[in-house]
Every structure is written in C-alpha cells, then in structure tokens.
C-alpha cells in the first residue's frame, strides 16, 4: 500500500507499507497522526491510502522540551518496519532533527 509522509504541512515523499505479522495475527498497515500534547496540533502524518490512522503523542518542534521525548521527531522506535519504509526525504529530515538535538544538548 502506498503511504505519504507530511511534516509541518510539507510533503516528505511516498513509501510502500505492507501488512505486518505480529503475535500470530496479520495487521493491515495504519497511518500515524502526530499529536502535540502542548498545542493540540497534528503536525505530521504518515497517511496510508484507504486506511485509518492512529494518533501518536509527540510534541511539535515548537514545544520540544526533553531530549528523550524529542519534539519535531517522527521517529517511532517501537515501529521498526514502518521506520524502515520511510522515504529518503523523511529520513533526511529526521537526521537533521537529531543532529540539531545533539547540538543543543552539547551546549547545555
């Protein structure tokens, strides 16, 4: 199935997602809507065509507070299959976000 990645209103490419076999069951792919708990904005999406999305609560870039809960990051460590499918544009965004996080941490 085709999916698209949008971050802060900007398209970051398309990706192909497949059903996933977990715990003895086949799960159809679902999208992700990134919800900021501080301002309520849905600031990023991974939209899977013809499929619903689930909400993940991650602060937006403007409301980043903690290094270990990085605002503006779309990386979901508990979703390795989905993260492996990210388009290169989204991976570039994510790499830049993490470099910025480490730069900020070094200045503390």
Find the residue with minimal CB distance to Zn ion: 36
Q: How far is the CB of 105 from Zn ion (least distance, A)?
A: 20
Q: Are 67 and 105 in contact (CB under 8 A)?
A: yes
Q: Pick between residue 15 and residue 36 the one whose CB is nearest to Zn ion.
A: 36
Count the neighbouring beta carbons within 10 Å of the beta carbon of residue 42. 13
C-alpha to C-alpha distance for 18 and 103, rounded to whole angstroms? 35
Q: Pick between residue 62 and residue 104 the one whose CB is nearest to Zn ion.
A: 62
Residues that bind Zn ion (CB under 5 A): 36, 38-39, 60, 63
């Amino acid at each position: 199935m085709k999916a698209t990645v949008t971050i802060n209103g900007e398209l970051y490419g398309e990706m192909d997602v497949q059903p996933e076999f977990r715990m003895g069951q086949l799960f159809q792919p679902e999208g992700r809507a990134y919800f900021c708990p501080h301002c309520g904005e849905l600031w990023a999406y991974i939209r899977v065509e013809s499929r619903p999305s689930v909400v993940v609560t991650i602060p937006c870039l403007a409301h980043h507070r903690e290094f270990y809960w990085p605002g503006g990051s779309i990386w979901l460590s508990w979703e390795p299959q989905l993260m492996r499918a990210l388009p290169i544009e989204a991976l570039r965004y994510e790499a830049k976000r993490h470099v910025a996080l480490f730069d900020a941490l070094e200045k503390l």
